[in-house]
Structure 1
Amino acid sequence: MSAPRLAHVLIGRDSGVYKMAYREWGDPCNSRVLLCVHGLTRNGRDFEVLAKEMARDFRVVAPDVIGRGESDWLRDPMGYQLPLYVQDILVLIARLNVTQLYWFGTSMGGLIGMLLAAMPGSPIRKLLLNDVGPVLSSVALARIGEYVGKAPPFPTREAAEAYIRAVSAPFGLHSDAEWAFLTDVMLKADGAGWCLNYDNGIAAPFRQTINGQDMDLWSYYDRIVCPVLLIRGNQSDLLSVEVACAMSERGPRAKWLDFDGVGHAPTFQHADQISVAADFFRAA
């Protein structure tokens, strides 16, 4: 499998024009497009292992949502919000020149997909929600808020990996090689050592959502009409069993599957997790 193709698309915001990076795997002429969108502080490289499998059948595209990875940072941090991410992704979809696609969304990426799938005329034909739903636990939001935008600079790569392992412990068991990959995805050199490759400004609007109450997006979920696969870590503090059960009974009536020994969120670095996604997207 060849290395992914890195490209950029121009995004227009009130505060200026920005470059949003994205990676592609597979045949660039393939009309079957799988769009993979990452979580709050991570980036599109998270999907490298999944993409290598799915690229046999799909043109796989994984953006670095603005403010992360190889994408530009916003001048106004209050622009790091879900409705504006949806607009950015629509620009990317126009660049890809497709009218329909499949969506894999982890955490924040799932929320973006849920909002887009709820829109009349949505291009999404199948939606995989990775450990996220229309109700976000206030407890989990508070936990995430404790570390988002607060990472110190790291004098060594080893110190950075120790930090990633600590804050990402809910990912579950991974080999040393897998932890090294999950760390490298998040790092960039800063001259004196290493730092995380996202704008700390993403924390500003995120913390405004932490008010001691759960976030409720049922009005969006209930409008989704495409098939939905809901993946949940069975130790997740973001997506409760009660919410997952309700998601299987209302709106698009998601098919629901738990992964044992995982919290928020499954990383899809492992063959058993990847096969679940592959079966869902490849099925007629």
Structure 2
Amino acid sequence: MTEFFTTPDGLRLAYNDTGHGHPLLCLAGLSRNMDDFAPVVAHFASRARVLRLDSRGRGRSDRDPDFHNYSVLQEARDVVALLDHLGLEKVSILGTSRGGLIAMSLAMVNPERLHGVIFNDIGPVVDPAGLADIMGYLGYKPSYSSFEDAADRLPEAMAPRFSNVPRATWQAFAEALWFETPQGLDIRYDPALRRAVLEQAAEGALPEIWPLFEALAPFPVALIRGENSNILTRETAEEMRRRKPDLIFAEVPDRGHVPFLDEPESRAVISAYLESVT
């Protein structure tokens, strides 16, 4: 069941709290929401307390009247507000894309709130080619007329980075990201998110944030990489492994940015991480 809490600046944010055991907070990508983590609930709620958050402006959470607040640092503060609301001292974070950047920010600013981090296809260097691909659709309605239409056409649209994906997975992908209207599918996030990203990008190239990753040195850390990712290069993943030799790692074949977390390789990484912290 979706629940809500109010941030210190007055926004009502949605979250879900399912399962029992080690607290695992799932943070979604830039324009996505908690529904991406349905496979994690299905596979791990019997051994972890799976928490899922819709960041401000996404999913069921309130949109921010000031788009400047769509920032990694503000969203990290929202995570701390959620933990305070739940009375949780620490959590592990499963961060997909932007969610992983939020986790690294917390490692630097609020390390006392972390048990550790699982990164889903993100690291301290974001490939500009992948960011350009994201900007090609961020803030725009898709061209699909229905969820069924999207499930039919996504395999071609997402090729060649994604292959051998069941139709049911594409259907779930579409239902998580968009909603149906009589005019076709529409986005489930604030389109002003595009303005925030463009304005932040105008301030200069994305910095390499290796110091934030190195702040995780005392913590257990895991990494899932899509074999065909255009956000997390193989070189960056290998450098992460070099700098943290105990990193739990797997590469998911036939997947780009980002793996769906239902793949055997993804489940194996999450399982190994939970074993390391419980």
TM-score between the two structures when normalised by the length of structure 2? 0.89
Verify the 8 A CA contact 1:117 1:124 in the aligned structure 2. yes
1:39 and 1:260 mapped to 2: Cα distance? 20
Residue number in structure 1 paired with 2:5 = 9
In the other structure, the counterpart of 2:240 is 247
Matches within 5 A, 1:56-67: 56-67=46-57
Distance apart, 1:98 and its partner CA: 1.2
Partner AA of 1:249 in structure 2: R
Match of 2:97 in 1: 107
Letter in 2 for 1:258: E
| TM-score after normalising by structure 1 | 0.87
**Is 1:268 aligned to residue 267 of structure 2?**
no
Which residue is 2:185 aligned to? 194
Question: Is the aligned partner of 1:85 residue 2:75?
Answer: yes
Moved more, 207-216 or 222-231: 207-216
User: Residue 94 of structure 1: which of 84, 90, 99 is its match?
Assistant: 84
2:133 maps to 1:143: yes
Higher mean alpha-carbon deviation, 98-107 vs 81-90, is at 98-107
If each structure's helix is expressed as a fraction of its own residues, which one has the higher value? 2
**Deviation at 1:149?**
0.5
Q: Secondary structure at the match of 1:135?
A: coil
Q: Distance in 1 between matches of 2:243 and 2:84?
A: 31
1:11/1:163 Cα in 2 relative to 1: closer, same or farther (>3 Å)? farther
Give the Cα separation in 2 of the matches to 1:161 and 1:167. Answer: 10
In 2, the alpha carbon distance for the partners of 1:116 and 1:49 equals: 25
**Identical amino acids, percent of aligned pairs:** 27
Matched, 1:23 2:16: yes
Indicate which of 61, 66, 80 corresponds to 1:71: 61
Do residues 55 (structure 1) and 45 (structure 2) align?
A: yes
Letter in 1 for 2:12: K
Instruction: Tell me the distance in 2 between the aligned counterparts of 1:87 and 1:95.
Output: 12
Output aligned runs, 1:25-40, within 5 Å.
Answer: 25-27=18-20, 30=21, 32-40=22-30
2:32 and 2:155 map into 1 onto residues whose CA distance is: 14
Distance 1:67 1:161 in 2: 25
Whole-Å separation in 2 of the counterparts to 1:210 and 1:163: 31
Match of residue 165 from structure 2 = 174
Query: Pairwise CA RMSD of aligned residues?
Result: 2.3
CA distance in 2, matches of 1:164, 1:200: 22
Return 5+ residue gaps in structure 1 as ranges.
none
**8 Å CA contact 1:20, 1:72 repeated in 2:** yes
Structure 2: distance between partners of 1:10 and 1:53: 29
In 2, the alpha carbon distance for the partners of 1:137 and 1:213 equals 11
For residue 176 of structure 2, the aligned residue among 169, 173, 185 is 185
Q: Aligned residues, how many?
A: 274
Counterpart contact for 1:129–1:231, Cα < 8 Å:
yes
Alpha-carbon separation, structure 2, partners of 1:245 and 1:139: 19
Q: Is the 8 A contact 2:144 2:185 kept in 1?
A: yes
